[in-house]
Structure 1
């Protein structure tokens, strides 16, 4: 008889479903059948049943947060059982004499490998081990997987990789978090500063964008737009000089407009070029997360959790994948899947699909680009999305539509470019695009598709016209955009491109900071620990995030470089090319170096403890409400509301008092807000920007007009 250990109860039920089974309280019994001639017992782990032990388990002195206890470097990395009941069930069956072999049925990836093997290691059982390795939980995939079990030794290097990563992350995280927290306390900041190999460089990317936005100074420029009237209608064009349309002074722009007004014009160049846009690739987890964030405002974690539910229900394939391709074996099932989708009302209008089979299309089918798992696709167990919960419906439909789009024709756009010469001297250009063939965009339309400049069709070279209107348009350069959570997922995936060529190649192969499975969790950690906040899907760095950024700036903790090197070594361990010993010795040395360097540099840190209001309560894990002072309108408390300070009585009385944390490009310290609310006026603040002017001013409360105004601003 075999013991099968799944990762979760719902996964266990799916694995047992194709066979005759009986559900018991804490396990499932599979009756003797063709696949299991002697029957089997199915148990489950309920996720991580073991966790790394705390520092004090290695050394009692390490329980106290003291600089002289650092670095903490245990020679051996230990785990402990955290869910005893589930562990005991597995232990009981694993040691039974009737169990002759064990099937590892955890998720088919690095962490799944570790979850089950750590349990077996703790139980200290040494029976033959086999590995179930499947990317779908449909009955067919499950049956085929159990019929083709891997020898457990094949995937053992993945376990070594997972434990090595955990130990290395523990060394860096535990030591760096303690040293930065303790050193921040010396600067008067009583909060916990969590530091991590992936989370900290990710935070730095957000803060750097924050600085780019704050440092940005908008520059005014002007454009001249003319309307050309001819015998068949009108069209518009923008003045250009050697391809540049921006004019640096309004005076020059007005001269150009005055010159062009009522002048004769001739269309001197008309080109139309076709542009073919292929259907998008199939989803990897990161592209699904980015799509869902843009389309539905889902956080990356919500997308992953929803996709995991669909996987467990057997409706989509394994979601924690970095692949955008499938193998020919999977692609051979597409025709039967499409036949089922055709009969579901939500997709009927897309049929007949006009594209060819993708079986030989390497944009979608390429086994060389599939490592452990292929792209996220629907399984053959097609279901009507209308029968699912709303979140599941959205993700499931998105996955299906990607597959349908792959079987459609390319979208063909016609790009039109027009050059018009006014009075033989001034050049105006006009551009637009129009859709010639809708193709896959009938399934995945875009709002951009309808933004077409009218009047540029059916024109010809030599067409005479007259400028009937010439208008000067005032514009300003725009600052860099804030990241959305979807942007951040993609940035984590590609940020290594700024490294030197060798490391950039490593990051390309390992897909940047973190993995497909961990990026959503990293962003969640940054939010939970108060380093970033998300408002209307935009990611902002908090004051706490800024403080840590300045402390780690210039160290290896702020750069993707360390992650690039680590992922290279971890991949070699997981592939069985190298052992873990040398890698872990290097990490130990790095840990000692980080602790030493942080203490050397901490005296140079510029920490404004008044700018760090959201200090966490360690016991409750909750953030205390940050009060800035009494509301000048109703006397209730003014509190921190994220991007601004506002009246705490807003919901109760609709009191409208607010003050932004950033005014004219200058961040307003909490200390100054408190002064304003207490005394009615701040001290003079440097760094306000308006146009090209930078000035110093105080802020004051204007009681008559009930608003915050500038006071003492130089004339």
Structure 2
């Protein structure tokens, strides 16, 4: 019997129908020598700290860092999950072969592998890898099943990501909560949540907040003049003082303007790129104010309804083997006949490197329609499908062509410039101008200005204008611009080619960024103000108290993401990635424990916070009560600078890297001593000496 494991019941139903497994049982379908069952997304998770050691159950600085020698998984504590897992386990025990039919991505691979490991699978495993859920794609996928081992690196990358998040999240959250939360750190309202991706993302928002808060507007003046309805701007740019601007205005007032040069240049504008998940989320946020999570849920629904391809992708390209299928997809898009007919009747469909490029496609290609009829869609789903459909069709339309005219002028020695742009062939823009939803289209011709016919040497009167303006602060992030910043590790990137090159160093993955943003909202570190995102007092205070640049640097987090991608390709070791993070968190723990300031953050359920740094620092040493809450606050008796840390086989000094030789073996000092008892034992030992 061949057992197929999908990620959702709805997918299991579709696959079972194609395979002829038509008999429904509790938790699976059966028939034609197949059994098709399903997970509900994650059934398993990494073990909690207390699952590794009872010493890790309670939060204590003495037990940090928590670094299991070997990470393990467990079932999520849920009766429904336990019931379905037992169904899967029983089916696997009697299977001759298992087909992993999980979502074809890193997270889908991790979900399925964990379930199969927990069920102690012993039979051969194959992988179904498809980019859409159409019947044709599923049939083709089962005809080309691959050995599961071909996707081992994908699993190692997903596992490394999960373990890396555990190492940093579990340890840093406890470390900062115990060290800096003012009280009641075990309460959800006062935990200082730190994450590998979450904290650098919050840091971006807080940095933008501070840039806006600290921005000082500066006055400047712009000099323009109108000649024959053409607006010329002074090439000198912005005048920093009113005196400079007034002198320039006085100089040209009453003097004739002379055209010194007129040049025309033909230009082309290619169709917009196909969508990856991030660009789709950005576009929907810009047009309709949808959150990243809203868009992800809608596009996932379109995928499951078979009308669009796999959505959790980070490429805007298609592979060459899709090209022969394009005409059929266009023919099947019957609601769009008015736009597809011209392409299909023109003979061979154009093939360009801006659309088809095997080198830019790994596991999945850009999001495109499958050709299945979207008649079932209503409301926002239809709206989203329409956006994707038009973008796909536009990719095969001609470029938009325009003529750009640049005129240079002189007035009493002051230089001026005017630029006009005239579209000569709409090309792909015809697609949007004829769209009934024109207010939602991609075209914006507000920058197109038509200059009157101008000739070099002509001269005449003009009307100058001097305007006082102010520099503007950076704009707050919207979800769209934040997604772009996460994608490019905090750098503002408009150029598409450069954007593609920077994706490998982005913060998070397209499939996880929406969840990260939602987590920050849920933990009240950020809030929405219209379309804008604002950092809360709690979020600002948290980033302010984290002095470890490694925890909040978008650039460094992007480098970690790059390593994860290299693990996926087999060019970097998962063990090296995890060991690097273990060393990193160990160093961070030592440095934070050596922070002798009395900074504290109070956070309440509303997300308000108070950094009590100043209030506590003004206390004199005599007023401050001695606090020995954990081993880490016991001063080293040898160097008198570091603090006692607990290792694998002994207690030592936090300044061991600086050469402090203190070592107290567990054979003499029990590993489960309370901080007070250990402090007493150390005092006795070193008083004797």
How far is 1:379 from its partner? 0.7
- Note if 1:102 corresponds to 2:98: yes
- Note if 1:176 corresponds to 2:172: yes
Aligned with 2:522 (options 524, 528, 533): 528
CA contact (8 A) 1:21 1:28 kept: no
2:39 counterpart residue number? 45
- What does residue range 616-627 of structure 1 map to in structure 2 within 5 Å? 616=605, 623=606
How far is 1:495 from its partner? 1.8
Flag the 1:516–1:12 CA change in 2: closer, same or farther, 3 A: same
Tell me the secondary structure at the aligned position of residue 415 of structure 1. strand
CA contact (8 A) 1:221 1:247 kept: yes
CA contact (8 A) 2:505 2:559 kept: no
Aligned with 2:88 (options 87, 90, 98): 90
Tell which deviates more after alignment, 469-478 or 356-365. 356-365
2:240 counterpart residue number? 248
- Note if 1:457 corresponds to 2:452: yes
CA contact (8 A) 1:569 1:583 kept: yes
CA contact (8 A) 2:221 2:239 kept: yes
1:114 counterpart residue number? 110
- Note if 1:408 corresponds to 2:397: yes
2:471 counterpart residue number? 477
- Note if 1:295 corresponds to 2:293: no
| TM-score normalized with structure 2 length | 0.80
Q: Deviations over 1:619-654 (max 9, x none)?
A: xxxx48x799xxxxxxxxxxxxxxxxxxxxxxxxxx
Number of residue pairs aligned between Structure 1 and Structure 2: 592
Tell me the secondary structure at the aligned position of residue 143 of structure 1. helix
1:710 counterpart residue number? none
- What does residue range 370-385 of structure 1 map to in structure 2 within 5 Å? 370-384=361-375
How far is 1:194 from its partner? 0.8
| TM-score normalized with structure 1 length | 0.77
Flag the 1:440–1:601 CA change in 2: closer, same or farther, 3 A: farther
Aligned with 1:368 (options 359, 362, 383): 359
- Note if 1:593 corresponds to 2:582: no
- What does residue range 420-459 of structure 1 map to in structure 2 within 5 Å? 420-422=409-411, 424-444=412-432, 445-446=441-442, 448-454=444-450, 456-459=451-454
CA–CA separation in structure 2 for the residues paired with 1:536 and 1:509: 28
CA contact (8 A) 1:14 1:312 kept: no
How far is 1:601 from its partner? 2.9
CA contact (8 A) 1:356 1:407 kept: no
How far is 1:360 from its partner? 3.4
CA contact (8 A) 1:358 1:406 kept: no
CA–CA separation in structure 1 for the residues paired with 2:324 and 2:249: 62
- The runs of 5 or more residues in structure 2 that have no matched partner are 433-440, 493-497, 616-689
CA contact (8 A) 2:181 2:192 kept: no
- Note if 1:130 corresponds to 2:126: yes
- Note if 1:580 corresponds to 2:574: yes
- Note if 1:4 corresponds to 2:13: no
CA–CA separation in structure 2 for the residues paired with 1:350 and 1:512: 36
How far is 1:426 from its partner? 3.1
Aligned with 1:398 (options 387, 392, 411): 387
CA contact (8 A) 2:157 2:567 kept: yes
How far is 1:130 from its partner? 0.8
Flag the 1:148–1:359 CA change in 2: closer, same or farther, 3 A: farther
CA contact (8 A) 2:404 2:421 kept: yes
Flag the 1:446–1:570 CA change in 2: closer, same or farther, 3 A: closer
How far is 1:397 from its partner? 1.2
Flag the 1:357–1:597 CA change in 2: closer, same or farther, 3 A: farther
CA–CA separation in structure 2 for the residues paired with 1:246 and 1:569: 45
How far is 1:376 from its partner? 0.8
1:699 counterpart residue number? none
CA–CA separation in structure 2 for the residues paired with 1:536 and 1:116: 39
CA–CA separation in structure 2 for the residues paired with 1:227 and 1:599: 66
How far is 1:186 from its partner? 4.3
CA–CA separation in structure 2 for the residues paired with 1:63 and 1:355: 69
